[in-house]
Amino acid sequence: MKIVAHCAAWSLAFCGVLVSPVILIFAVPFAIGVGTDIVESSAALLVAVFVVGSAALLTLCKPPVRASIKTLVRPAALVDRKPLAPSAPRHAAKSIS
Protein backbone atom coordinates (compact mmCIF):
# COMPACT_ATOMS: atom_id res chain seq x y z
CA MET A 1 0.00 0.00 0.00
CA LYS A 2 2.94 2.30 0.66
CA ILE A 3 4.19 1.93 -2.91
CA VAL A 4 0.76 2.90 -4.31
CA ALA A 5 0.73 6.14 -2.32
CA HIS A 6 4.30 6.86 -3.38
CA CYS A 7 3.49 6.32 -7.06
CA ALA A 8 0.30 8.39 -6.78
CA ALA A 9 2.22 11.30 -5.29
CA TRP A 10 4.84 11.17 -8.03
CA SER A 11 2.22 10.94 -10.76
CA LEU A 12 0.30 13.92 -9.33
CA ALA A 13 3.54 15.91 -9.16
CA PHE A 14 4.32 14.99 -12.77
CA CYS A 15 0.85 16.05 -13.90
CA GLY A 16 1.22 19.31 -11.98
CA VAL A 17 4.51 20.04 -13.72
CA LEU A 18 2.95 19.35 -17.09
CA VAL A 19 -0.15 21.48 -16.42
CA SER A 20 1.53 24.48 -14.76
CA PRO A 21 2.85 26.09 -17.99
CA VAL A 22 -0.62 25.85 -19.50
CA ILE A 23 -2.10 27.56 -16.44
CA LEU A 24 0.53 30.32 -16.64
CA ILE A 25 -0.06 30.82 -20.35
CA PHE A 26 -3.76 31.41 -19.75
CA ALA A 27 -3.46 33.21 -16.39
CA VAL A 28 -1.17 36.04 -17.51
CA PRO A 29 -3.42 37.36 -20.33
CA PHE A 30 -6.44 36.91 -18.06
CA ALA A 31 -4.80 39.01 -15.33
CA ILE A 32 -3.85 41.68 -17.86
CA GLY A 33 -7.42 41.76 -19.15
CA VAL A 34 -8.88 42.07 -15.69
CA GLY A 35 -6.47 44.90 -14.88
CA THR A 36 -7.41 46.71 -18.07
CA ASP A 37 -11.10 46.34 -17.32
CA ILE A 38 -10.62 47.79 -13.84
CA VAL A 39 -8.77 50.81 -15.22
CA GLU A 40 -11.31 51.34 -17.99
CA SER A 41 -14.25 51.15 -15.63
CA SER A 42 -12.89 54.20 -13.76
CA ALA A 43 -12.32 52.19 -10.63
CA ALA A 44 -8.72 53.35 -10.80
CA LEU A 45 -9.67 56.46 -8.84
CA LEU A 46 -11.18 54.34 -6.10
CA VAL A 47 -8.12 52.09 -5.99
CA ALA A 48 -5.88 55.16 -5.82
CA VAL A 49 -7.88 56.52 -2.90
CA PHE A 50 -7.56 53.21 -1.06
CA VAL A 51 -3.81 53.02 -1.69
CA VAL A 52 -3.19 56.60 -0.58
CA GLY A 53 -5.45 56.16 2.45
CA SER A 54 -3.68 53.02 3.59
CA ALA A 55 -0.29 54.69 3.11
CA ALA A 56 -1.47 57.65 5.21
CA LEU A 57 -2.73 55.35 7.95
CA LEU A 58 0.55 53.47 8.01
CA THR A 59 2.51 56.68 8.44
CA LEU A 60 0.14 57.95 11.14
CA CYS A 61 0.60 54.78 13.17
CA LYS A 62 4.31 55.47 13.71
CA PRO A 63 4.98 56.88 17.21
CA PRO A 64 7.00 60.02 16.20
CA VAL A 65 4.33 61.11 13.73
CA ARG A 66 1.58 60.40 16.21
CA ALA A 67 3.34 62.44 18.92
CA SER A 68 3.86 65.42 16.64
CA ILE A 69 0.20 65.36 15.60
CA LYS A 70 -0.86 65.21 19.26
CA THR A 71 1.22 68.29 20.06
CA LEU A 72 -0.35 70.15 17.14
CA VAL A 73 -3.88 69.20 18.11
CA ARG A 74 -3.51 69.65 21.87
CA PRO A 75 -4.77 73.04 23.12
CA ALA A 76 -2.28 75.52 24.59
CA ALA A 77 -3.98 75.44 28.01
CA LEU A 78 -3.08 71.80 28.52
CA VAL A 79 0.54 72.39 27.59
CA ASP A 80 1.08 75.10 30.26
CA ARG A 81 -0.65 73.18 33.05
CA LYS A 82 1.63 71.89 35.83
CA PRO A 83 0.95 68.70 37.81
CA LEU A 84 -0.82 69.20 41.15
CA ALA A 85 1.57 67.19 43.26
CA PRO A 86 5.24 66.52 42.60
CA SER A 87 5.93 62.96 41.66
CA ALA A 88 7.61 60.76 44.23
CA PRO A 89 11.30 60.13 43.63
CA ARG A 90 11.94 56.77 42.08
CA HIS A 91 14.44 54.56 43.81
CA ALA A 92 16.15 51.57 42.31
CA ALA A 93 15.10 48.21 43.69
CA LYS A 94 17.54 46.64 46.13
CA SER A 95 19.33 43.53 45.12
CA ILE A 96 18.28 40.30 46.82
CA SER A 97 21.71 38.72 46.70
Q: Residue-wise pLDDT tens for the chain (97 aa)?
A: 788 988 999 999 998 888 888 888 888 889 888 888 877 776 777 778 888 888 888 777 777 777 777 777 776 545 555 555 555 566 666 767 6
pLDDT at 19: 87
Q: b/e per residue, 14-26, with b = 16+ CB within 10 A?
A: eeeeeeeeeeeee
Calculate the CA 60 to chain-centre distance.
14
pLDDT at 67: 74
Q: Please tell me whether the overall predicted TM-score, pTM, comes out greater than 0.85 for this model.
A: no
Backbone angles phi, psi at 82, to 5 degrees: -100, 155
Calculate the CA 72 to chain-centre distance.
27
